[in-house]
């Protein structure tokens, strides 16, 4: 089947007339053709978003919320079908595919609820008769550039706040996961969103993304993806006067102290490190273990990892599916190769040998042991099913290791020691701290984002999303 761009309320062919075939990382089956759009398509989408802005911002918050709720209801009706398509396209397990679709519904419901929340404040004037207040106003057309690893949730967590606060949108879907984004856009189309409020262009980031970032009619860019691409976007967007929000990499540590419940800590390491094939910016990639329990933790982690079912993610009992693409698999394998020189491979490290899985991009869950943080596998984001173990003398050494990274997205500590947990909360250099829980996860009603090289600009999600998607207007009202 051939899918089209969505511009000004209609499904339209790209100017180029050319299409890319999308295929499944599970077994290579073809999933449809998506536009290989050109700069002209992006420009047409931007013009459409610009044209729709004055109508959309003039609607009441409640009216705008009604479209979010209608789209949520449509996604709810199709949650199994969409979750299945997400799994086929991205390779995460079916439980995760459906779970992610449910998360998108919660995000839409949360931001619909924000339509009844305060959008400003009244501030006393030095003049007793003057009323001074602030209100939040939308920015205009915004460009949303989304990643393949959460192809439903991330488009929605940018779309929902952009729309509720009155902005119009041009979305650039990740090349690898257009069908998931198509489902999101279709839900809004079916919900009757006015033409031009949402536009979506499929194709290469270098072409469409660059146009969005450069074009003066786009007032802000929100991006989720790699540091390399994000940093390029930052320079260009700032030089054209835009607001920018970037969510990029992580190298998230899980610290396990000697008093921790080892079974629970092993479970957190496995879920945080291997679910979604490790392809989350929040994935656990370093596990730092206190010396006293190191051997026991390592033994149990390897035992549990050996028992995981890795394979076709459409089968209900599969724990971990393939990498998203051949090139992602190659990148992960090359880091594993480097890891073998720098550290000790404890488990995994190979592609799967099962003859039924040769058309997919599978890698075993992989565990390394390292004795120095200089190793590439301890410093670079791998974005695959690889965790590295590091022994620490005590909490103080562990936190030093944990902070010794350019990234600062999330981190977790396993302990029952409340004082150390509080010290950790204060000392760890990340945007999201966990105590006795996975480094992954993001509830829609709370801020999401990191420090250091993980993020740039205001936080996504929760009430703080308003910071990025609006600006403040200050109003003085005097009596004549």
Q: What are the residues binding ligand UN1 (CB under 6 A)?
A: 147, 149-150, 224, 247, 280-282, 440-442
Nearest to ligand UN1 of 48, 410 (CB atom): 410
Q: How far apart are CA 152 and CA 138, in angstroms?
A: 24
- Provide the token pair at 82: 């969409």
Q: How far apart are the first and last CA of the chain?
A: 66
Q: Nearest distance from residue 359's CB to ligand UN1, in Å?
A: 26
Residue nearer to ligand UN1 on the CB measure, 278 or 349: 278
350 belongs to the catalytic site: no
User: b/e per residue, 397-420, with b = 16+ CB within 10 A?
Assistant: ebbebbeebebbbbbbbbbeeeeb
**Residue 442 Cβ vs ligand UN1, minimum distance, rounded to whole Å:** 4
Round to whole Å and give the CA distance between 39 and 454: 29
Rounded Cα gap, residues 308 and 250, in angstroms: 24
Residue 199 three-state SS: strand
Q: Whose Cβ is closer to ligand UN1: residue 147's or residue 366's? A: 147
Name the β-bridge partners of 413. 255, 435
Shortest distance, position 287 Cβ to ligand UN1, whole Å: 17
Of 22 and 147, nearer to ligand UN1 (C-beta) is 147
Residue 138 β-bridge partners? 470
* Residue 226 vs 359, nearer CB to ligand UN1: 226
Instruction: Provide the minimum distance between the beta carbon of 291 and ligand UN1 in the complex, in angstroms, as a whole number.
Output: 29
d(C-alpha 84, C-alpha 430), whole Å? 34
To ligand UN1, the closest distance from the beta carbon of 225 in angstroms equals 8
Query: Annotated catalytic residue: which of 211, 247, 381, 460?
Result: 247
- DSSP letter (8 states) at residue 191: T
As a dihedral over the C-alpha atoms of residue 52, residue 54, residue 60, residue 63, rounded to 10 degrees, the angle is -10
Q: Which residues are catalytic?
A: 247
């Amino acid at each position: 089947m051939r899918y089209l761009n969505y511009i000004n309320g209609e499904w339209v062919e790209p100017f180029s007339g050319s299409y890319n075939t999308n295929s499944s990382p599970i077994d290579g089956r073809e999933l449809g053709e998506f536009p290989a759009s050109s700069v002209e398509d992006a420009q047409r989408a931007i013009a459409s978003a610009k044209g729709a802005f004055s109508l959309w911002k003039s609607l009441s918050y409640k009216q705008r919320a009604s479209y979010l709720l209608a789209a949520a209801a449509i996604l709810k009706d199709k949650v199994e079908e969409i979750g299945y398509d997400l799994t086929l396209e991205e390779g995460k397990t079916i439980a995760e595919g459906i779970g992610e679709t449910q998360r998108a519904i919660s995000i839409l419901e949360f931001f619909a609820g924000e339509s009844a929340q305060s959008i400003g404040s009244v501030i006393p004037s030095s003049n007793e008769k003057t009323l001074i207040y602030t209100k939040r106003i939308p920015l205009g057309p915004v460009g949303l550039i989304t990643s393949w690893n959460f192809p439903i949730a991330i488009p929605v967590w940018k779309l929902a706040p952009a729309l509720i606060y009155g902005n119009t949108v041009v979305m650039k879907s990740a090349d690898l996961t257009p069908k998931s984004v198509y489902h999101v856009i279709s839900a809004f189309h079916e919900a009757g969103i006015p033409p031009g409020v949402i536009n979506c262009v499929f194709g290469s980031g270098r072409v469409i993304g660059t146009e969005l970032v450069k074009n003066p009619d786009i007032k802000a860019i929100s991006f989720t993806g790699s540091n390399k691409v994000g940093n390029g976007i930052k320079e260009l967007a700032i030089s054209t006067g835009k607001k920018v929000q970037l969510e990029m990499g992580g190298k998230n540590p899980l610290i396990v102290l000697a008093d921790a419940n080892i079974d629970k800590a092993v479970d957190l390491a496995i879920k945080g490190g291997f679910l979604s094939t490790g392809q989350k910016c929040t994935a656990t990639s370093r596990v730092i273990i206190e010396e006293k329990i190191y051997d026991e933790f390592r033994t149990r982690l390897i035992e549990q990892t050996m028992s995981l079912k890795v394979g076709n993610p459409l089968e209900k009992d599969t724990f971990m599916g393939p990498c998203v693409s051949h090139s992602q698999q190659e990148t992960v394998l090359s880091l594993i190769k480097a890891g073998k020189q720098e550290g000790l491979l404890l488990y995994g490290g190979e592609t799967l040998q099962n003859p039924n899985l040769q058309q997919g991009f599978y890698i075993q869950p992989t565990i390394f042991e390292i004795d120095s943080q200089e190793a590439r596998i301890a410093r670079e984001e791998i974005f695959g099913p690889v965790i590295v173990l590091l022994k620490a003398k005590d909490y103080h050494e562990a936190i030093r290791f944990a902070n010794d990274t350019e990234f600062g997205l999330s981190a977790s500590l396993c302990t029952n020691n409340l004082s150390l947990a509080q010290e950790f909360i204060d000392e760890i250099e990340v945007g999201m701290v966990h105590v006795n829980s996975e480094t992954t996860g993001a509830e829609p009603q709370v801020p999401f984002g990191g420090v250091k090289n993980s993020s740039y600009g205001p936080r996504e999600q929760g009430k703080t999303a308003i910071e990025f998607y609006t600006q403040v207007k200050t109003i003085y009202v005097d009596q004549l």
